[in-house]
Amino acid sequence: MIRWSVLVLAVALSARVEAQDSSLVSPPPIRSVGLSLADALQQARANSPAYRQVLNDASPARWGVRSAYASLLPSVIASSDFGYTGSGATNLGGGLIRPTSPFLTSGYSLGLQWQLSGAKLNAPKQQQALERATEEDISAAGTSLTAEISTQYLTTLQAGAQVAVARQQVRRNEEFLALAKARHQVGQATLLDVRQAEVTKGTSDVALLRAVQSESEAKLDLLRRMGVELPVPIEQIFLSDSFPVTAPAFQLDTLLALSDRQNPALRSLRAREHAAGVDVSAAKTEFFPSLSVRAGWSGFTQQYTNEDLLMSEALSGAQSNAADCQYNNAIRTGLSLGGETANCYAASGLVDGGGALLDPVAQQLHSSNASFPFSYTGQPFGASLTVSLPIFTGLGRSLRLSQARAQEDDVAEEVRARRLQVRTDVHARYLALQTAYQAIGVQGRSREAAQDQLRLARDRYRLGAGTALEVSDAQTAVQRAEGDYVNAVYDYHKAIAALEAAVGRPLR
């Protein structure tokens, strides 16, 4: 009587488990940090190393435009120099050698320079086209990042759903083991059935551990792609978004038209095609004249460090002047011409007798020599205007024009190739989306059939008409069917993400 009571209890317990909903939803464990897809994308745009590298190209592109406009303005150049020349000797010819004093030099120059050519006039257009291309590159990187994070987010959700499938299988195997033990106790099953149920449960336990490990790895990979460190223990992170399955209502013609206008990679190449056209225009301007204007001011200083040598040379020069003055006086006196210099020594800056320079003259020489480093002697203002027209440059201009045209043609072909590739990708991913949606229906029916098969196998086993192996096989089939259904659902969502990446904009 007791054995029959145990059997009835086991049968009732099995029936209650079977009556439960065998859907893939299971109570989530206690978690503390929820992460939505919007939050993941926001953090990825702020922290992803690869995306930030592309963002760094924006600033040089903006400065390229500013520099191109600034090149149309005059350049202002200021310079200053300081120098030293050691002592030496000057050969004056005829065996006359005069020693020279070391001296210090300094100078400055301030100038304006303005050049105007066809290349400079076209430079702003070129840089603006390159800036637009850079902006489109950044947009393309953003689209790729969105697709990458969205796909990994879905992969992580998929791994979590597979954990739920594995937990459901563990629960089934626990109840199957309890049923096998109960039937064994009342003599309705052999010990072999119990051992079979234990092996089956052990296999499901290992599968659950591996499913949890796969989910943790998927979370870690998601955080890596986002560019952030793990903020809390991995088991405390859960993904808060869910994605319903709806029949795709996209029209292929509409998607193709959108991709022509919105695909960032295609837009970037078109911007570069425009830049290549501007390069051709710039190459043509090399056949036209160019204009150059220069203007500037300058000054210099020179100071002898050996003033004794400077004074000696000045004294020698003054004495020579005094001798010439005395000779002129003698000639004028002899010819009665008049106009003699009263004091040749004083007129030449010498004291009486010519043995030394007058103090004012010596002081003036000292003051004029003390000019280093900033007592500049200014030079006259100078300006020039030059118009140049190269007549023959070794066919260099023709070569550059030919290269620019070839580059323009290459980029045009690259645009055409990219457009074909984009349209092919959109079409293929549209077909993949249709296939993924149809696969959900097929896998759903397979899951229902596997669940019916498991119910029948359990009923047969409870009534003694079936074997433990049949139940085990049916449970394995259910787990496989539920796992395949999960994969079909998330393959559908990933197909939408791939289609959005090909088109270049969100579609839902």
Q: Strand pairing partners for 114?
A: 293
d(CA 403, CA 283): 9
pLDDT, position 8? 33
Asked if residue 71 lies in contact with residue 121, where contact means CB atoms within 8 angstroms, the answer is no
- Omega into 373 within 30° of 0, i.e. cis? yes
CA dist 105 and 103 (Å) reads 7
Cβ atoms of 305 and 373 within 8 Å: the answer is no
111-122 pLDDT, tens digit per residue, is 999 888 888 888
pLDDT of 153 > 50? The answer is: yes
Cβ-based neighbour number of residue 259 at 10 Å: 21
Instruction: Give a three-class secondary structure readout of 272-290.
Output: HHHHHHHHHHHHHHHHCCE
Q: How do beta strands 237-239 and 33-35 pair?
A: parallel
* Two structure tokens written together for 462: 């409870």
Ranges 89-93, 157-161, 294-298, 475-479: which has the least confidence: 89-93
Across 467-471, average pLDDT: 85
Q: Which helix (H) or strand (E) holds 155?
A: helix 118-185
Summary mean pLDDT of the chain: 85
Q: How far is CA 272 from CA 260, 413, 414, 432, in A?
A: 16, 12, 10, 32
Is residue 374 helix, strand or coil? Answer: coil
Contact yes or no for 82/106 (Cβ under 8 A): yes
CA distance 477 to 489: 18
Q: Convert the pLDDT of each residue in 300-341 to its tens digit.
A: 888 888 877 778 888 888 888 888 888 888 887 877 777 777
Residue linked to tokens 């952030």: 228
Tokens 């496989």 locate to 480
Nearest to 274 by CA among 402, 119, 412, 397: 412
Of 17-26, 90-99, 366-375, the one with minimum mean pLDDT is 17-26
All structural domains of the chain: 2-69+123-289+396-503 (1.20.1600.10), 99-116+301-388 (no CATH)
Q: Are 248 and 434 in contact (CB under 8 A)?
A: yes
pTM: 0.74
Return the beta strands (E) in 54-197 as ranges: 75-85, 88-93, 96-100, 103-116
Min mean pLDDT across 18-27, 371-380, 404-413 is at: 18-27
CA–CA gap between residue 410 and residue 412 (Å, rounded) = 5
How many CB atoms are closer than 10 A to CB 271? 22
Q: How far apart are CA 59 and CA 76, in angstroms?
A: 25
Which residues, other chains included, contact 475 with Cβ-Cβ below 8 Å and sequence gap of 6+?
Answer: 169, 172, 173, 176, 200, 454
| pLDDT of 210 higher than 50 | yes
What is the rounded distance in angstroms from the CA atom of residue 17 to the CA atom of residue 475?
Answer: 13
- pLDDT band for position 12 (cuts 50, 70, 90): very low
For the residues 168-173, what does the mean pLDDT come to?
A: 92
Over range 176-183, report the average pLDDT: 87
pLDDT cut 90: percent of the chain above it:
45
User: Token pair of 278, please?
Assistant: 């501007």
Q: Are 140 and 322 in contact (CB under 8 A)?
A: no
| pLDDT score of 278 more than 60 | yes
* Confidence (pLDDT) at 395: 86
> How would you classify the pairing of strands 290-304 and 103-116?
antiparallel
Neighbour-count burial of 95, counting CB atoms closer than 10 A to its CB (0-12 exposed, 13-18 middle, 19+ buried): exposed
What's the rounded mean pLDDT across residues 247-275? 92
DSSP state of 301: E
> Is it the case that residue 66 has pLDDT exceeding 90?
yes
Q: Which residue has the tokens 């190449």?
A: 269
Q: Which residues partner with 97 through β-bridges?
A: 91
pLDDT at 6 over 60: no
Q: Do 223 and 35 contact (CB within 8 A), yes or no?
A: no
Cβ-count burial 10-22 (b if 16+ within 10 Å, e if not): bbeebeebbeeeb
Label residue 385 exposed, middle or buried (CB < 10 Å: 0-12, 13-18, 19+): exposed
3-class SS of residue 91: strand
pLDDT tens digits, one per residue of 72-109? 888 899 999 999 888 776 665 555 677 777 888 999 89
What is the C-alpha to C-alpha distance for residues 259 and 101, in angstroms, rounded to an integer?
80
